[in-house]
Amino acid sequence: MPASVSPENKAGTPVTPDLMHRLDRAFFERDPVDVAPQLLNKVLASADGRMGRIVEVEAYCGSRDPAAHSFRGKTRRNATMFGAPGHLYVYFTYGMHFCANAVCWDDEPGMGVLIRALEPVAGIERMREARGDIASLSLLCSGPGRLCQALGIDRKLDGADLVSGTHGIGLYDDGAEPPAEPASSERIGISRATEHAWRWFVAGSPHLSRKPSTRR
């Protein structure tokens, strides 16, 4: 196990650098409802070695999803979502947070998967610094805004190609399978289209944005 993976992280699956490989572009050329659960246990990595395993995602389904930024069509803000699949859509929200999505599907543009939580697996000291030296590992990347802060994802990375990883952020498969039966729930923090169970997560992970038995 890498030295940067602390004992507190023992419940997780450390990355195996030799096995890390790119995803096929075709992986993203599907409906985000299919892509999202398949993204669980994939590895998001910044250029400087900060890495986290995806433990929570949500699908946003464009013109058939009133909760999606892209619901009403292309704008300056969401333009990346209408671009090529496999790229990163980063947006700024609530006056202080960034959130990151993997752009999906090629039949109809404007779809994506929001990455909501990571299990930190490498570069953890850098993540801590970026997060203001937060102590708790389970609060380091447990939310869409937190993980962006931890990995240094901001508007400069909007449009970055996650497949090639050449723009400072990449998404990799290290051989870890997604859960055979991922847990799902309603999406968090939205006020419209709440009827869909389009949030998927690794059951029991301590790194989720909502811990078990908390609800609001």
The footprint of DNA (CB under 7 A) covers 58, 60, 67-70, 72, 75-78, 81, 89, 92-97, 99, 101, 112, 114, 116, 131, 134, 139, 143-147, 187-192, 209, 216
Is the Cβ of residue 65 or residue 174 nearer to DNA in the bound state?
65
CA–CA distance, 86 with 40 (Å, rounded to integer): 15
CB of 93 to DNA, least distance (A): 5
Is the Cβ of residue 42 or residue 116 nearer to DNA in the bound state?
116
Is the Cβ of residue 23 or residue 153 nearer to DNA in the bound state?
153
CB of 153 to DNA, least distance (A): 12
Please say whether the beta carbons of 42 and 173 come within 8 A.
yes
CB of 43 to DNA, least distance (A): 19
CA–CA distance, 67 with 54 (Å, rounded to integer): 22
CB of 1 to DNA, least distance (A): 26
Is the Cβ of residue 7 or residue 94 nearer to DNA in the bound state?
94
CB of 126 to DNA, least distance (A): 16
Hey, what amino acid is at 154?
Answer: D
Is the Cβ of residue 20 or residue 106 nearer to DNA in the bound state?
106
- Classify residue 168 as left (phi > 0), alpha (psi -120 to 50) or beta: left
Q: What does residue 64 show for φ and ψ, rounded to 5 degrees?
A: -105, 15
